Amino acid sequence: MNILSISNLIKTYPNGVKAIHNISLEIGNGMFGLLGPNGAGKSSLMKTIAGLQKADDGEILFNGEDVLKNPLSIKRHLGFLPQDFGVYPKVSARDLLNHLAILKGITSKNERKVQINELLNRVNLYNQRNREVHTFSGGMKQRFGVAQALLGNPKIIIVDEPTAGLDPEERNRLNLLLSEISINRIVILSTHLVEDVKNLCAQMAIIKNGMLLCMGAPSELMRGI
Ligand code: ADP
Ligand code: ADP
């Protein structure tokens, strides 16, 4: 079991915006929904958890290690599925995963090959391995993103609005995949879509204006919504 424990976290940007206002959360394996409107502080919280920016106060422990004091301790264990990758280089899906695996520090060529084939099968893109990713449909790109996030078998995966712009079938497929990969790791789903959190997450938090409004099981928090 992995445990991410956040205590009394505070982050104020130099312009005076209080993006995170005394947030405490405890997150275990499974899919955790972070729900809030635009500007709520979701990205700020994700970036701080990922060790990409400093907090002003508070503590983040991942399996007992202090993330704020030693950001590398979490970077090793973290995968990220962004909303949009921007521009893809003109290489095949398999070659792109290989480059990303090298950047992740997977030095053994054979280990990369085994892992990449396994991941391409897992996200159902093995037959598309020689295609360039920019030619993929939106759903295929997101599934490729899941494969990329899983490189190195991270213990935490952060997912930012993954189903934006997908049709219902692609959305279901991606959601199923995210559920599968959350069985033995923490997956944090940052979204403003109540429905995805309701359907996918065992635990959730609602944040607004940098503050934690509530935390618990979606069935308890969203009765009647
Ligand atoms: P969300 O991801 O929920 O949309 P953000 O964490 O991006 O929310 O933003 C929370 C608040 O912090 C917003 O008011 C936003 O304008 C502000 N903010 C975000 N990033 C910065 C930054 N780098 N500098 C100053 N203000 C920021
Ligand atoms: P999904 O798995 O997301 O449903 P598919 O693998 O069925 O997507 O393919 C999506 C699109 O890519 C379809 O229009 C399909 O015809 C096209 N396609 C599939 N395989 C190839 C290929 N090897 N080369 C070029 N286009 C392909």
- Give per-residue pLDDT as tens, 6-64: 999 999 999 999 999 999 999 999 999 999 999 999 999 999 999 889 999 999 999 99
What are the pLDDT digits (tens) for 211-221?
999 999 998 88
Provide, rounded to the nearest whole percent, the portion of the chain with pLDDT above 70: 99
Report which protein residue has its CA nearest ligand 1's atom 23.
13
* Cα 136 to ligand 2 centre (Å): 7
Q: What digits encode the pLDDT tens for the residues 109-167?
A: 999 999 999 999 999 999 999 999 999 999 999 999 999 999 999 999 999 888 888 99
Query: Do residues 158 and 174 touch, judged by C-beta distance below 8 A?
Result: no
Give the DSSP letter string of 119-149: HHHHTT-GGGTTSBGGGS-HHHHHHHHHHHH
Task: Name the token pair of 153.
Answer: 């078998």
**Angle formed at CA 191 by CA 98 and CA 187, multiple of 5 degrees:** 50
For residue 197, the tally of other CB atoms under 10 A from its CB is 24
Q: ipTM score of the complex?
A: 0.70
- Angstrom distance (rounded) from CA 196 to CA 133: 26
Calculate the CA 4 to chain-centre distance. Answer: 13
Given a cut of 80, whether residue 84 has pLDDT beyond it is no
Give me the helices (H) in the chain, please.
Answer: 42-49, 72-75, 93-103, 109-122, 138-150, 168-181, 194-200, 218-221
Atom 22 of ligand 1, residue of closest alpha carbon: 13
Protein residues whose CB sits closer than 6 Å to any atom of ligand 1: 13, 15, 17, 19, 36, 38-44
DSSP state letter for 22: E
- Burial label for 90, CB within 10 Å (0-12, 13-18, 19+), is exposed
* Residue among 140, 166, 170 whose CB has most ligand 2 atoms within 8 A, to mutate: 140
CB 95 within 8 A of CB 132: no
CA of 18 to the centre of ligand 1 (A): 9
CA 25, CA 42: separation in Å to the nearest integer?
13
Ligand 2 lined by 140 (C-beta under 6 Å): yes
Considering every ligand atom shown, identify the ligand nearest to the alpha carbon of residue 167 and give its number: 2
Does residue 203 register a pLDDT over 90? yes
**What is the arithmetic mean of pLDDT over 55-84?**
91
- Whether 174 and 163 have beta carbons less than 8 Å apart is answered as yes
Which residues are bridge partners to 15 per DSSP? none
User: Which amino acid belongs to residue 106?
Assistant: I
Q: Are 184 and 29 in contact (CB under 8 A)?
A: yes
